[in-house]
Structure 1
Amino acid sequence: MNVYQLPLGPLQTNCYIVSNDVKEAVIFDPGEEADIIFNVIEENKLKPLAILLTHAHFDHIGAVDEVRDEYNIPVYIHKYEADWLTDGQKNGSASFLRNQTIFAREADHVIEKEGKMEFGQFTFSVFETPGHSPGSISFYNKELRTVFSGDALFQRSIGRTDLTGGDHELLIKSIKSKLLSLPDDVVVCSGHGPTTTIGEEKKHNPFF
């Protein structure tokens, strides 16, 4: 499998495209610059199956509708942020952006609880990792030994908790119970910045 990391938009929010041997692909957090996403998909002759959102802050959802419409694929989000896609106050764009509010249409599927999700030949374990936002979730692929953590866990840092529904203590609990329980060699693909590993964060992250 391949993982394409695409830092997009002014906040350099990481969109990830994951592909397998039969060219199926899933797309995480298409935040902006849909053309860059399209180029990677077309250049590698990929067949997108779904858009998976780790959470619904504006910098993670700006290109959702463009990508969804281009490939006619469904969007998945956690139930606690299902209404954030259409609400500029909740997704933060009304507060952080000048003269612009970012929206996306409602998700096609709402994730109700933790568990396994399958898309073509992909299998992901969904972990609820709230704290940065109420509906933050992480997606773990055991075969790839990679977890897509959104803005919960970063290299030597964690997500901010001063936005709508943020909770510092809950975020620390989420990371310790869900993410740091994964094997040390698991790669962490964060919503911003470089990738890291679970083992590195156990050793060097100052929040733990």
Structure 2
Amino acid sequence: MGNNLHLKRNNSRNFFTVAPGIWGMKDIFVNIYMIMNPFDGNWVLVDAGLFTSYSKIKKMAARLFGDNSQPSAIILTHGHFDHVGSLQKLAEEWNVPVYSHYLEIPYLTGKSSYPPGDPTVGGGLMSLMSWAYPKHPINIWNHINILPENETVPGLPEWKYFHTPGHSPGHISLFREGDGVLIAGDALVTTKAESAFSVMLQIKKISGPPKYFTPDWVSARQSVKTLMKLEPKTVASGHGKPMYGKEVRKSLHKLSEDFYHLAVPVQGRYILEPAVSDASGVIYIPPSNFNKKRMVIKLLSFVAVSAAAYVLLKQKSKNKRRQEILSYEIW
């Protein structure tokens, strides 16, 4: 009840409370998080959203921590385009250290692109559009630092990080054992990431990593198992609303136990053979049967059907309203 009140109250400020000292914000379809260190009052930014997130992050920080406040560090769950969109600008302006797992460094220092998205996995518009998602690296070599090997999180003494690869080679998730809060990144998400409707409407559902951008399903399964064993009481992810209590535990156990049925797509480029990477970046990508022309036609058809459905619903709503008005006039 209390968590729902926090979520509702903070929506007017474009951010929400996850748990004590943890706040999140959705920008279009992806979340960023701010976590306060209760021992010194400093705070840490987790992920940097899209390029549109820059001003929103600044405003959120000002509301929470005061004008011109800046974090002690930026922690990256991974370096995909929707998690680092505002990173370069923020890191240069704030001049603060940025931390990631060492296996994510090539994609943050201009050395390697990620494996391409896979629009053949199905599930909705987000998947269909994934052939166009940026996969090229950014270059913040003068700000990037490697996370400590002992799994501690710089600036957050109550937290530990866990290496949760699959969605990306150096993906990490953050865990606060004291109250069981998990910041999962995209190792698992709390909505159906492949569906634009689910993502935009924030429909709650514990799901595996986004299918269209996950190139190693064996590692992804092991990562979900790792997170399940933590028995989190709160899960906040890169996409979707936070989820709490028994709802989380039951869904997470089910996802872990039946991962290949619930999370892995029936078809796709990386199903039988994963992309291979090492500390230098991607070294092998399996061949694709993707037909770009056919996919564009499919995408246009999907958009046309969605638009027609929207118009019909709008007209139905208008007719219903007209009938209500007429009934009042007759009365």
Fold equivalence (TM over 0.5):
yes
- 2:103 is paired with a residue of what secondary structure? helix
Aligned to 1:117: 153
- Alignment partner of 1:188 is 2:206: no
Separation in structure 2 between the aligned mates of residue 134 and residue 18 of structure 1, nearest angstrom: 24
C-alpha displacement at 1:20, in angstroms? Answer: 4.1
Once the two structures are superposed, residues 66-102 of structure 1 have per-residue CA deviations (whole angstroms, 9 ceiling, x without a partner) of 222232211011111101022573276996248x967
Instruction: Identify the range of structure 1 (14-23 vs 24-33) with the bigger mean alpha-carbon deviation.
Output: 14-23
Separation in structure 1 between the aligned mates of residue 97 and residue 151 of structure 2, nearest angstrom: 18
Separation in structure 1 between the aligned mates of residue 89 and residue 224 of structure 2, nearest angstrom: 32
Counterpart of 1:39 (choices 59, 69, 88) is: 59
- Structure 2 counterparts to residues 47-196 of structure 1, below 5 A: 47-85=70-108, 86=110, 89-90=113-114, 96-97=132-133, 103-106=138-141, 107-111=143-147, 113=149, 115-119=151-155, 122-155=157-190, 156-160=206-210, 163=213, 166-176=215-225, 178-185=226-233, 187-196=234-243
Determine if contact 2:186/2:237 at 8 Å carries over to the other structure: yes
Once the two structures are superposed, residues 173-194 of structure 1 have per-residue CA deviations (whole angstroms, 9 ceiling, x without a partner) of 1111x21111342x11101011
TM-score normalized with structure 1 length:
0.82
C-alpha displacement at 1:47, in angstroms? Answer: 4.5
Determine if contact 1:128/1:135 at 8 Å carries over to the other structure: yes
Determine if contact 1:58/1:92 at 8 Å carries over to the other structure: no
Once the two structures are superposed, residues 156-179 of structure 1 have per-residue CA deviations (whole angstroms, 9 ceiling, x without a partner) of 211135547x21122111111x21
Aligned to 1:28: 46
Identity %: 26
- Alignment partner of 1:17 is 2:34: yes
TM-score normalized with structure 2 length:
0.54
RMSD over aligned Cα atoms = 2.9
Q: Which amino acid aligns with 1:43?
A: R
Q: Which amino acid aligns with 2:34?
A: I
- Which structure 2 segments of 5+ residues have no match? 1-19, 118-129, 191-205, 263-331
- 2:173 is paired with a residue of what secondary structure? strand
Q: Which amino acid aligns with 1:76?
A: Y
Q: Which amino acid aligns with 1:192?
A: H
- Which structure 1 segments of 5+ residues have no match? none
Separation in structure 2 between the aligned mates of residue 55 and residue 159 of structure 1, nearest angstrom: 12
Q: How many residues align?
A: 201
Determine if contact 2:106/2:112 at 8 Å carries over to the other structure: no
Once the two structures are superposed, residues 91-140 of structure 1 have per-residue CA deviations (whole angstroms, 9 ceiling, x without a partner) of 76996248x96724125211364522341x63321101111111111111
C-alpha displacement at 1:143, in angstroms? Answer: 3.3
Which structure dedicates a bigger proportion of its chain to helix? 2
- 1:48 is paired with a residue of what secondary structure? coil
Aligned to 2:22: 3
- 2:221 is paired with a residue of what secondary structure? helix
- 1:41 is paired with a residue of what secondary structure? helix
C-alpha displacement at 1:142, in angstroms? Answer: 2.2
Determine if contact 2:114/2:137 at 8 Å carries over to the other structure: no
